[in-house]
Structure formats: C-alpha cells, structure tokens
Amino acid sequence: MNVTIEVNGQLTSRAVPDDRFLCDLLRDDLGLIGTKVGCREGVCGSCTVLLDERPVRSCLLLAAQADGRRVGTIEGLATDGVLHPVQQAFVDHGALQCGFCTSGMVMSAVAFLDDEPHPDREQISEALAGNLCRCTGYVKVVEAVASVAATEQPAASDGPGR
Ligand code: FES
Ligand code: FES
C-alpha cells in the first residue's frame, strides 16, 4: 500500500508491503538509523519514536498504521544544529555508554516531560521503565531528565493573577 507520513516535519510517501514495520521504514527506506531495533518484541524500548507526539514502539507498529500521521525520531529533535535540551542533558550527565538505548530513552523522556514538566525522580523512573539499558544503568539517565525538568520554567498560566 501507499503510505504518506510526516516524518520530522517532512511529508514522505512510499509504497510499502502491508507487513512492513515502522522501524524498518524509518531505518531502511528513509535512512533514519538513529532509531535502534533491539528485541523486535516491544520489550526493550530502543525503537521508541513519537507518533502524533506520543511514544510508540516502532517495532510493533506497521508502517501502514502511521499513514496520515506525524512521526518524530531522534533525528528531528535538534534545531539548527543545537541539541534538544534532553539530548544535551544526556551528554552533560554522561547518561549513555554504548548509546544503543539512548534514542529510545530520549524520545520517551521528551514525550514524558511534555506531559509532566515538573516530575520528581520516582515519576521519571516510572516513565522510563519501559526503556531498558544494559550498560549505563538508570541513575544518570534519571539525573539527566531531572536536570531538564529543573530548568523548565513554569508556564505563564501557572503564575499568580491568572
Ligand atoms: S526493538 Fe522495539 S521494543 Fe525492542
Ligand atoms: S547505553 Fe548501552 S544499552 Fe544503554
């Protein structure tokens, strides 16, 4: 079937087999290899991307299911060569080693902070529980995400007199 998906702000159309998964469309057809594929069973979270701003396992989602929708990958986070604050925080806090889990972690964290800009560490740990890391462990990851949360300014509507 033919699918049209907005990937990182750019519309793209492709003829894909009905059984093609979104992760394979992204990596093999579009060359967006920042999205990693680990287990292919929905367990490790390394393939996490955003679908209409919500985190999804791209190894479980058919490309056809993304037809007409927006997909965000790690490649779309930086703006004009400046890393997204969550990406920068991972670097600053040494929250990665091999990096295999990192794009999935970052995409999950971005979506989570969008919903919950001022989480505590427990909430961050829970939010990232579906993203497995085999080398760094989770302490630095949680620290990185917490540092972004700490620098987020309260929305204007949170202030007095509104
Ligand atoms: S590769 Fe998709 S969850 Fe592991
Ligand atoms: S940094 Fe290697 S798996 Fe997480």
User: Please, which residues have CB within 8 angstroms of residue 51's CB and are 6 or more apart in sequence?
Assistant: 61, 66, 69, 70, 71
Q: What is the mean pLDDT of residues 77-106?
A: 97
The verdict on the CB of residue 38 being under 6 Å from ligand 1 is yes
**41 pLDDT above the threshold of 50:** yes
**Torsion over CA of 145, 146, 148 and 152, rounded to 10 degrees?**
140
Q: What mean pLDDT value characterizes the chain? A: 93
Q: Which ligand is nearest to the CA of 41?
A: 1
Burial of 92 (0-12, 13-18, 19+ CB in 10 A): middle
- CA 130 to centroid of ligand 2, rounded, Å: 14
Alpha-carbon distance of 147 to 91, in angstroms, equals 12
Q: Is 9 helix (H, G, I), strand (E, B) or coil?
A: coil
Write the pLDDT tens digit of every residue in 120-147.
999 999 999 999 999 988 999 999 999 9
Q: Is the CB of 136 under 6 A from ligand 2?
A: yes
Give the pTM: 0.93
What is the band of 153 on the pLDDT scale with cuts at 50, 70, 90?
low
Q: How confident is the model at residue 58 (pLDDT cuts 50, 70, 90)?
A: very high
